């Protein structure tokens, strides 16, 4: 069955609405309490608050405190941010201070006024 323009428009509208209500599940792996870890935490939280207000869960994992979780998560460097939901799973590794990189990596869209 061939889709009409109206069907395509309605599908697009549903996808857009779902995108703005989806809950994000994120896990940030950091290496102890150091300047780089603190900057990563601050930057990720700021992006989440600005673009995902009340729609995200952020777990921060210190790799020195929880070494057992590294193998399961396949973390090879810190900081590493893993977006578990919504799919697809994404991994961002390294400098988290570049907020534009975080926005693109998390597949967030910047709306007018933000």
Could you tell me the residue range of the domain that residue 95 belongs to? 24-103
Q: How far apart are CA 66 and CA 82, in angstroms?
A: 16
If residue 19 lies in a helix (H) or strand (E), which one and from where to where? Answer: helix 5-21
The CATH code of the domain that includes 36 is 3.40.30.10
- pTM as predicted: 0.76
Residues 81, 92: contact at Cβ < 8 Å?
Answer: yes
DSSP secondary-structure letter at 6?
H
Residues 96, 39: contact at Cβ < 8 Å?
Answer: yes
Reported as a pLDDT band with limits 50, 70 and 90, residue 66 is confident
* Domains: count for the chain: 1
For residue range 39-58, what is the model confidence (pLDDT) as tens digits? Answer: 999 999 999 999 999 999 99
Reported as a pLDDT band with limits 50, 70 and 90, residue 9 is low
Evaluate whether residue 1 is within a structural domain: no
Specify the higher pLDDT residue, 16 or 74: 74
Residues 66, 31: contact at Cβ < 8 Å?
Answer: no
Residues 44, 37: contact at Cβ < 8 Å?
Answer: no
């Amino acid at each position: 069955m061939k889709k009409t323009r109206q069907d395509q428009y309605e599908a697009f509208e549903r996808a857009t609405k779902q995108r703005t209500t989806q809950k994000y599940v994120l896990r940030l792996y950091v290496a102890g309490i150091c300047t780089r870890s603190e900057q990563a935490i601050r930057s990720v939280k700021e992006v989440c608050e600005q673009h995902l207000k009340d729609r995200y869960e952020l777990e921060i994992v210190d790799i020195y405190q929880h070494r057992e979780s590294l193998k399961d998560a396949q973390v090879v460097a810190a900081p590493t941010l893993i977006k578990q939901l919504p799919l697809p799973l994404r991994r961002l590794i390294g400098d988290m201070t570049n907020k534009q990189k975080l926005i693109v990596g998390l597949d967030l869209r910047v709306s007018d006024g933000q």
